[in-house]
Amino acid sequence: MRSFGRPPVPCGLRWPGTPGHGRCRSGLSLWPSSVPGIALCRAPAWAGPGSVTVSAVCQGQEDGERRHQQLLEAVSSLSGRRRRKLAERTEASTQVSEFNVSCKGAGEKLVLSELLQPIRPKSALSTVKKELTKVKQKKAVELPLSKEEAERVVREAAYVRTSKDVGRWQQVVLQNRRAEQLVFPLKQEIATVVPLEQVVSAWKARTPLEQEIFGLLHKTKQPITDPLLTPEETASLQAMSLEEARQRRAELQKARVVQSYYEAKARREKKIKSKKYHRVLKKSKRRKALKEFELLHKSDPEAALAKLEELEQLRMQERMSLKHQNKGKWARSRAIMAKYDLEARKAMQEQLARNKELTQKVRVELPEEEPSDVPEEDLTSETVPTIPVGASGANPWMLGKPSGPAEELKVQEGLENVAVPDAVESKEEMEKDDDEEDMSEEEALLQDFMQKRQVRQQQARSLEEQGADETEAVPELPGDGPIHPISAEDQASVGIEQPPQAQEEILLSEQLGRVQTMDDVDALASEERVEEQEKLVVATAEKPVPARAEKRVQQQEEGRAGDKRAKKPAKKKIISLEAVLAGKPQQVQCPSLPVVVEEEEGGIDQRGVITEAFAGDDVVADFTREKRKAEEAAKPQPVNLVLPGWGEWGGTGLKPSARKIKRFLLKPPPAPPRKDQHLPHVIMSERRNIHAAAHQVSELPFPFERHQQFEQSIRTPVGATWNTQRAFQKLTTPRIITRSGHIIKPLSAEDVPDMATTAGTGAKPALEIVPQRPEPPLCRRRRRAR
Amino acid sequence: INYDPALHPFEVPREYTRALNATKLERVFAKPFLSSLDGHRDGVNCMAKHPKSLSTVLSGACDGEVKIWNLTKRQCVRTIQAHEGFVRGMCARFCGTSFFTVGDDKTVKQWKMESPEYGEEEEPIHTILGKTVYTGIDHHWKEAVFATCGHQVDIWDEQRTSPMCSLTWGFDSISSVKFNPIETYLLGSCASDRNIVLYDMRKSTPLKKVILNMRTNTLCWNPMEAFVFTAANEDYNLYSFDMRFLESPMMVHMDHVSAVLDVDYSPTGKEFVSASFDKSIRIFPVDKGHSREVYHTKRMQHVITVKWTSDNKYILCGSDEMNIRLWKANASEKLGVLAPREKAAMNYNQKLKEKFQYHPKIRRIAQHRHLPKSIFCQIKEQRIMREARRRKELNRRKHSKPGSMPFVSERKKHIVAVVK
């Protein structure tokens, strides 16, 4: 019975396990099988509608019905419905509590044992207790913080936040501090020019003067506020795009560079003082003009003719001026000087040449003749500047600078000349006129000069022959040094019967010349050689050429270059090589030759001279003495601690006793072996040089960690003497570059591209202020990958 | 050119000689003084740079006069009687169209930068009458907001006559307030109760306060490093702080022999210039404890204000004896256009000087400066005093229990407290 239901309770009972908080969800736990306790209690205020009260019916006959009811309730509770039907009030009764608790067990007897039974610890109550203790433990709501405290909290939070915000710049700052180079302003702005119209439109005349001026302008209808540029002008301004402008600028720049280059060149050329250079230049100009004229002649004969007329006029005028007749004051003075002065002579010659040129009749050539002319001219153009005017091929001294084929040509010319005997000279004269027609002007001039000179020389020769003995000693009067007087004709006329005289002549002429190169010296030697063998040559000569002439040719050849002999056998067949080589060179007292020899001798006994000069010095002994001295000085000195007067009599003239000296003279330990003891030629001083120390760094400077690093930094040179231009520039770039006139604004997020994007997140920005080019290898790889 | 090192021996001695010559020449050509702008009738109390024009500079004097100067002409272009009493502070608007002044007459005035048109009166655009004296003013770098300081730091909208917010922390007169040029919502101020206070405009709250041994006269933010500022202190030193770590300054810059009155950063943020009561201005590298340059003239009195022009080339200083002086920032720099060869030679010389700067002979020449006797004697005196203090401390340490007298680094010595 008990196991099934609960006994009828007289007053309202609350089932345990249903605390009324609505925590118990399952209806099964309501069964008192495990919790059979009966608690006498009032339904508490918090017992909500979920609390279950059971009303017990007093009547016995109703018992079965009640139980049935209970059963129904239990079953219905099984379904989980929380709300249960309240006990129905079937009839009016006084025992009904106003709290909706029916007093079913009001008449029942309460048995003590039943009351006593449930007094033991119950788990269900403990939860209630716990709650009670919890409620007790709960403290009251805290008082609000004091104002200072609250502010402090706010400050701390704000500080943390701000520090974090500011910390975003950390990377930028570090990068800037470490940067090799910083260029300020960081953001290069392109200067925008405000159009004039805008500036003007905002401006108004205020002062009376301004108003007056504007009034005037209005009267004359000048543009004031209108665009100051006409539409065409603005269009033209806009027409040129940036690219075009750049291109144009580059072109202009280039043009300017070229111009400046030519200007510099012209200036440089103008500065050149060399007369020879100017002569050559003039000649080349003349030639160029001639060529141009010829071209003009071809293309536009009439214009050419007109030009020719003009030229002719000029020539005539000049011819009339008597400028170049060598008769003026200047010419006369030059004539006096000409004997001694090469320059004066040359000037005179030039004058003569000019004269000749002017007096010459200008021929108008037909165009058909030109092709034949041109090569000839080319030849002459090569020969003329290289060979001095007077070089007839007879004098090796005059061959300053040999020039290959042209020279040979000259030689052949000479040969031709030589071949012609004196007697045929008149005929030659006739021929020459024809030749001259073919030759260029310079060539003609040359020939002319040669003739003149020859005439002069012949006169001189005749004079010489008259006073035979005297002339031997006296140098030729009109004979020019470099322009050798002896021509082939003379020699031919003089013949072989006068070799000593000829030799004498050579010597005399040599006095005026000067050995200029080693080749010339060789030429001299060979000349001697050949002269000795003159007769032999004559004997072996197959040609009926006068021996003298042949000899000259050979001299020329040899004088020019020894190695040419092998190269040009064609030339050499004139001379028998064996004969030349077999000849023993003869020592001839030549005025310029000994100088060279002397020099060689000086070179040979240089050693002897030096030994003689430093005869008294014994360097080795001095050195050993010095070293010994250094060794002595480096030995540790004994320390003298002897004090006179202590322990004995002192005074003037009294010396400390030997015992005392022995006791107080402290001998130092021997020094370690010297580093140079096995090096006889070296003195190594280990003493620190205080003079040098004053210039040396005594402490390791801050950024360096080891002295090697510092030394390395000092040892690496920076200058352009030791580095290429590019490296030099790189090494000397300044760390900070600013531009004058540019405002440097404070750093901002826009300056730093990554900063702007990461500004909100506060992430670490990896950015670069100095724009860096992407690494080329990477780029290349990428390109290859594509 | 043949770069064979065998052909060019003795590279170190040769470069050393070149460096020596370069150093000597640098000293020979060191003529930093350019001109003096005179015209004020009282000591120059404050200056302001024009944000857009390099040739324009503004100055306010102790008699309430404001002058605008043209530096290329070296002339005063405009004079305004702005205040009664001192012009305490002035600043230009970021756009350069107007400027603000505060004075002893408790007013904040906004003026046009351009001179008035013909027939117009010279009068301010706006005038704000305050309750207390304003001692300093600074304008926001990007917005129409400015801050004044006096008994409190007020932040104003340009359009309103009452401050947007007032920031206080304790009660004392605040001598200067400066906006951070990079993180523009940040402000720094220094008050006469020896503290430096940082503010955040967004939250309108102070952030942190650091108290030093002596009063800080003014401070300046580094224009390239957002969190670095330098404070010019009464104890002859300047302190560079990282605002995130206020417990100790990054660097103590000492060389002045009297109170430092003003400081201004170079626009590159690598150096700053300081004006001092000892009648000299000095240029310090930010990462060095000692100055690289000192400028003085016989007639220059206590220098009250100093500015570094925004092209990094010149320095302006205003002093007690009514003059503004214009100096070169780099004493031996050649002004004007340089030929490429000249430039290359200059760079090379600079590099050589850098390379051999530690060599004693070169360092001696490079560091030698002629100083007026007063400064020279004071430096000597202070050296002696410092030495004496050091010796005393050493002796004390020697005769006290080991560990009872801890070593305090120079940087920490001058900080009294950091208040959160």
CB contact under 8 A, A746 and B224: yes
Chain B residues with CB under 8 Å of A206 CB are 117-119
Chain B residues with CB under 8 Å of A694 CB are 360-361
Residue A17 pLDDT more than 50?
no
CB contact under 8 A, B5 and A745: no
Q: Tell me, what's the pLDDT at A425? A: 45
Q: Tell me, what's the pLDDT at A98? A: 59
Q: Give the best-scoring range by mean pLDDT among A415-419, A529-533, A627-631, B33-37.
A: B33-37
Residue A758 pLDDT more than 80?
no
State mean pLDDT over B355-365: 94
**Selecting from 3.30.450.20, 3.40.120.10, 3.40.50.970, 2.130.10.10, what CATH number does the domain B33-328 have?**
2.130.10.10
Going by pLDDT thresholds of 50, 70 and 90, the confidence category of residue A660 is confident
How many Å apart are CA B91 and CA B58, to the nearest integer? 9
Q: Tell me, what's the pLDDT at A736? A: 92
The answer to whether B168 touches B152, Cβ cutoff 8 Å, is yes
Residue A495 pLDDT more than 50?
no
Q: Tell me, what's the pLDDT at B276? A: 95
CB contact under 8 A, B205 and A165: no
CB contact under 8 A, A741 and B311: yes
Give pLDDT tens digits for A452-466: 667 666 766 665 555
Residue A97 pLDDT more than 70?
no
Which of B268, B342, B349, B361 is best to mutate for the A interface (most A CBs within 10 A)?
B268
Token reading at A734: 């300044």
Residue A522 pLDDT more than 90?
no
Full DSSP string of A286-352:
HHHHHHHHHHHHHH-HHHHHHHHHHHHHHHHHHHHTTTTSS-SHHHHHHHHHTTT-HHHHHHHHHHH
CB contact under 8 A, A732 and B3: no
Phi, psi (5° rounding) for residue B205? -140, 145
Going by pLDDT thresholds of 50, 70 and 90, the confidence category of residue A61 is low
Query: Crossing angle, helix A441-466 and helix A370-386, to 10 degrees?
Result: 50
Overall residue count recorded for chain B in this entry: 420
The answer to whether B239 touches B252, Cβ cutoff 8 Å, is yes
CB contact under 8 A, B118 and A154: no
Q: Which of A202, A244, A2, A216 is nearest to A117 (CA)?
A: A2
Q: Tell me, what's the pLDDT at B366? A: 94
The answer to whether B209 touches B195, Cβ cutoff 8 Å, is yes
| Closest B-chain CA to A165 | B183
Residue A604 pLDDT more than 80?
no
Q: Tell me, what's the pLDDT at A654? A: 83
Residue A740 pLDDT more than 80?
yes
Q: Give A393→chain B minimum CA distance, Å.
A: 45
Q: Tell me, what's the pLDDT at A222? A: 63
CB contact under 8 A, B224 and A162: no
Q: Tell me, what's the pLDDT at B209? A: 93
List the single residue in A169, A719, A724 with the smallest CB-CB distance to B15.
Answer: A719
A93-102, A110-119, A371-380, B213-222: range with lowest mean pLDDT: A371-380
CB contact under 8 A, B12 and A714: yes
Give pLDDT tens digits for A568-580: 444 444 444 455 4
Residue B404 pLDDT more than 60?
yes
Q: Tell me, what's the pLDDT at A210? A: 85
Q: Which of A100, A72, A104 is nearest to A86 (CA)?
A: A100
CB contact under 8 A, A159 and B347: no
Chain B residues with CB under 8 Å of A739 CB are 311
A160-169, B117-126, B203-212: range with lowest mean pLDDT: B117-126
Average pLDDT, chain A: 66
Cβ of residue B119 closer than 8 Å to a chain A Cβ = yes
State mean pLDDT over B153-182: 91
* pLDDT greater at residue B163 or residue A350: B163
Cβ of residue B313 closer than 8 Å to a chain A Cβ = yes
CB contact under 8 A, A152 and B420: yes
How many Å apart are CA B72 and CA B380, to the nearest integer? 40
Q: Tell me, what's the pLDDT at B139? A: 95
Token reading at B295: 């400028």
Full DSSP string of A493-536:
HH-TT-HHHHHHHHHHHHHHS---SHHHHHHHHHHHHHHHTHHH
Q: How many CB atoms lie within 10 A of CB B145?
A: 17
| Closest A-chain CA to B359 | A697
Whether the ω angle into residue A185 lies within 30 degrees of 0, i.e. cis, is yes
Q: Tell me, what's the pLDDT at A336? A: 80
Q: Tell me, what's the pLDDT at A223? A: 61
Give pLDDT tens digits for A212-236: 888 887 787 666 555 566 566 667 7
Residue A581 pLDDT more than 90?
no
Chain B residues with CB under 8 Å of A163 CB are 227, 243-244
Cβ of residue B358 closer than 8 Å to a chain A Cβ = yes
Chain B residues with CB under 8 Å of A148 CB are none
Residue A488 pLDDT more than 90?
no
Q: Give the best-scoring range by mean pLDDT among A48-62, A353-367, A433-447, B236-250.
A: B236-250
State mean pLDDT over B342-352: 95
List the single residue in A176, A731, A744 with the smallest CB-CB distance to B312.
Answer: A744
Full DSSP string of B249-305:
-SEEEE--SS-EEEEEE-TTSSEEEEEETTS-EEEEETT-SS-SEEE--SS---EEE
Residue A633 pLDDT more than 70?
yes
Q: Which of A551, A276, A537, A535 is nearest to A396 (CA)?
A: A551
CB contact under 8 A, A166 and B244: yes
State mean pLDDT over B167-174: 86
Angle (nearest 5°) at CA A293 between A288 and A294? 100
The answer to whether B272 touches B265, Cβ cutoff 8 Å, is yes
List the single residue in A166, A718, A724 with the smallest CB-CB distance to B351.
Answer: A718
Chain A residues with CB under 8 Å of B360 CB are 694-698
| Closest A-chain CA to B267 | A744
The bridge status of strand B281-285 relative to strand B293-295 is antiparallel
How many Å apart are CA A363 and CA A297, to the nearest integer? 14
| Closest A-chain CA to B340 | A729
Query: Crossing angle, helix A301-320 and helix A275-299, to 10 degrees?
Result: 140
Cβ of residue B292 closer than 8 Å to a chain A Cβ = no
Residue A594 pLDDT more than 70?
no
Chain B residues with CB under 8 Å of A743 CB are 51-52, 54, 267, 310-311
Q: Tell me, what's the pLDDT at A190? A: 66
Residue B262 pLDDT more than 80?
yes
Q: Which of B113, B45, B125 is nearest to B85 (CA)?
A: B45
Domain ranges of chain B: 10-29+339-367, 33-328
Which of A151, A155, A710 is best to mutate for the B interface (most B CBs within 10 A)?
A155
* pLDDT greater at residue A550 or residue B320: B320
State mean pLDDT over A196-221: 77
State mean pLDDT over B65-78: 94
Residue B217 pLDDT more than 70?
yes
Residue A292 pLDDT more than 80?
yes
Chain A residues with CB under 8 Å of B347 CB are 732-734
What b-and-e string marks burial along A441-472, b requiring 16 or more CB atoms within 10 Å of the CB? bbbbbbbbbbeebbebbbebbeebeeeeeebe
State mean pLDDT over B104-119: 90
Query: In chain B, what's the furthest Cα-to-Cα distance?
Result: 81
CB contact under 8 A, A748 and B206: no
Q: Give A697→chain B minimum CA distance, Å.
A: 5
Residue A745 pLDDT more than 60?
yes
Chain A residues with CB under 8 Å of B183 CB are 162, 165-166, 169
Which of A165, A178, A712, A732 is best to mutate for the B interface (most B CBs within 10 A)?
A732
Give pLDDT tens digits for A388-398: 444 444 444 44
How many Å apart are CA A188 and CA A739, to the nearest integer? 11
The answer to whether B210 touches B415, Cβ cutoff 8 Å, is yes
Q: Tell me, what's the pLDDT at A748? A: 87
How many Å apart are CA A60 and CA A105, to the nearest integer? 11
* pLDDT greater at residue A501 or residue A126: A126
Q: How many CB atoms lie within 10 A of CB A657?
A: 14
Q: Tell me, what's the pLDDT at A302? A: 86
Q: Tell me, what's the pLDDT at B306? A: 96
Cβ of residue B360 closer than 8 Å to a chain A Cβ = yes
Q: Tell me, what's the pLDDT at A231? A: 61
* pLDDT greater at residue A753 or residue A272: A272
Residue A507 pLDDT more than 90?
no
CB contact under 8 A, A717 and B15: yes
State mean pLDDT over A416-443: 45
Q: Could you say which residues from 167 to 226 on chain B have a Cβ atom under 8 Å away from some Cβ of chain A?
A: 181-183, 186, 198, 200, 203, 205-208, 223-226
Q: Which of B227, B220, B255, B252 is nearest to B414 (CA)?
A: B252
State mean pLDDT over A414-442: 45
CB contact under 8 A, A718 and B312: no
Q: Give A694→chain B minimum CA distance, Å.
A: 7
Q: Tell me, what's the pLDDT at A66? A: 85
Full DSSP string of A193-216:
PPPHHHHHHT----SHHHHHHHHH
Q: Residue A650: left if φ>0, alpha if ψ -120 to 50, beta else—which one? A: beta
List the single residue in A695, A697, A718 with the smallest CB-CB distance to B352.
Answer: A718
Q: Tell me, what's the pLDDT at B242? A: 94
Q: Tell me, what's the pLDDT at A57? A: 39
Q: Can you give A373-391 as a three-state secondary structure string?
A: HHHHHHHHHHHHHHCCCCC
Chain B residues with CB under 8 Å of A156 CB are 420
Residue B414: strand, helix, or coil? coil
First and final C-alpha spacing in chain A? 96
Q: Tell me, what's the pLDDT at B318? A: 95
Residue A760 pLDDT more than 70?
no
Give pLDDT tens digits for A662-709: 888 898 888 888 888 888 888 888 777 788 888 889 899 988 999 999
Q: Tell me, what's the pLDDT at B338? A: 92
